[in-house]
Structure 1
Amino acid sequence: MSNDYTTPAETRIGHVHLKVSDLDRALGFYRDLLGFELTTMYGENAAFLSAGGYHHHIGLNTWHSKGGSPAPKSSPGLYHTAILYPTRKDLAEALQRLIDHEYPINGASDHGVSEAIYLDDPDGNGVELYRDRPREEWEFDENGSVKMTTKPLNLDNLLQELNN
């Protein structure tokens, strides 16, 4: 296989499609808690949601998983779905909604290039809510590689964005 091809810079990951055990419960999380808009139902066993009118950013279905158990954490599979918020204030608003609904958070990290909040959806699928720092704030090592860290994210400081 040749190494002379690189994916075009404009390429984006368009959507994630998740197997869930209970469609209504999953909609309660992605639509009602996180605020994604339902764009369409595909029968009684699938739903498609988006932000801003896109056809879908998140697909949910119970075609092969209705009533099933979460995938074991120690087996191969999706680690998490990362949802990128446009501003730090938007991320703070998402955090406040989680707090207001007493939804459990697994962790929160400052990665240098981004700030992230980690949680699981009702089916145990990992979810990262994050915002990128502007590229000019990123640090690079002497070889040009991005320096990423994993430091605790100060959630109180993040929530101060709601007062600005």
Structure 2
Amino acid sequence: MSTVTNRATSRPIVAPKLHHTTFTTLRLDEMVAWYENAVGLYPAFHGDQAAWLTNDEANHRIAFLSPPGLKHPVDKSHSTGVHHTAFEYNTFDQWLDNYIRLRDQGILPFLWLDHGITMSVYYQDPDGNGVEIQVDCFGNWEDSKQWISSALEFAENPIGSWFDPEKLVQARAEGLDFAEIHRRTRAGEYTPENIPTDIFLPELY
């Protein structure tokens, strides 16, 4: 019998919603341009030392601060902190089309994983921060929440199954739908030739 347990703890009765994430950066203009291209975040305000970006009804979802005195991190990939932020598409086709759009610009992910709850590709912004772009495998948050909470499959392998995104592009071109592609990915049919040895952020600088 498995000894894997879910160590979820108590929580507020009324929980606030996650609103935004703020980064410090020495590449303000480059970061604003990258996030606008990658995930459609446009600046509600873009000044000399800060910017606030949104891609939905909120006043901002990502903010960048660039005050004097900042220093670049040392050994970022092996330091504690935020590994990545994540953005979700409503459909598999939207998600895969965005992969193709970025690929055609030379922007490629460094990780490609089917977590069971999501299919996800991971990029790096100009500062080397991780950016996950995902699609929910259940199409319903209640179902995926139930699965992540109770599935032994996830508890034993939360990282999931590696895939080659180009094999997914080909599978869709051959007429397979999302459910079948997801099933085959979990079965290991689209495994890449070279599987990363870890999930650390690559050191860019």
**TM-score of the aligned structures, taking structure 1 as reference length:** 0.78
Q: CA RMSD in A?
A: 3.1
Q: Tell whether the 8 Å contact from 2:39 to 2:87 is kept in structure 1 after alignment.
A: no
2-side partners of 1:112 and 1:65: how far apart? 43
Percent of pairs identical after alignment? Answer: 23
Aligned 8 A contact 2:117 2:147 in 1: no
Task: Give, in whole Å, the separation in 2 of the partners of 1:133 and 1:9.
Answer: 28
Q: CA deviation at 1:131?
A: 1.4
Q: Distance in 2 between matches of 1:65 and 1:90?
A: 40
**Counting helix residues as a fraction of each chain, which structure ranks higher?**
2
Instruction: Kindly provide the CA deviation profile for residues 9-37 of structure 1, in whole angstroms up to 9, marking residues without a partner as x.
Output: 86432111111111111012101333212
Three-state SS of the structure 2 residue aligned to 1:73 is helix
Equivalent residue number for residue 28 of structure 1:
33
Query: Does the Cα contact within 8 Å between 1:139 and 1:146 map onto a contact in 2?
Result: no
Q: 2:51 touches 2:64 (CA, 8 Å); kept in 1?
A: yes
Structure 1 residues 145 and 52, CA gap change in structure 2 (3 angstroms): same
Superposition map of 1:137-148 within 5 A: 140=147, 144-145=150-151, 147-148=153-154
Question: Does the 8 Å contact 1:140/1:147 carry over to 2?
Answer: no
2:32–2:42 contact (8 Å) kept in structure 1: no
User: Which of 127, 131, 156 does residue 166 from structure 2 map onto?
Assistant: 156
Bigger radius of gyration, 1 or 2? 2
Partners in 1 of 2:121 and 2:30 — Cα distance? 21
Any stretches of 5+ residues in structure 2 without a counterpart? 1-7, 178-205
Aligned residue in 2 for 1:69 = 72
Q: Residue 102 of structure 2 corresponds to which residue in structure 1?
A: 98
Whether the aligned pair in 1 keeps the contact of 2:137 and 2:144 (CA below 8 Å) is yes
Preserved CA contact (<8 Å) 1:112 1:138: no
**Structure 2 contact 49–67 (Cα < 8 Å) conserved:** yes
Tell me which of 36, 49, 53 is aligned to 2:53.
49
| Distance apart, 1:78 and its partner CA | 1.0
Counterpart amino acid of residue 96 in structure 2:
A
The one-letter code of the counterpart of 1:40 is: F
Aligned length: 158
Query: Which has the higher mean CA deviation after the structures are superposed, 94-103 or 131-140?
Result: 131-140
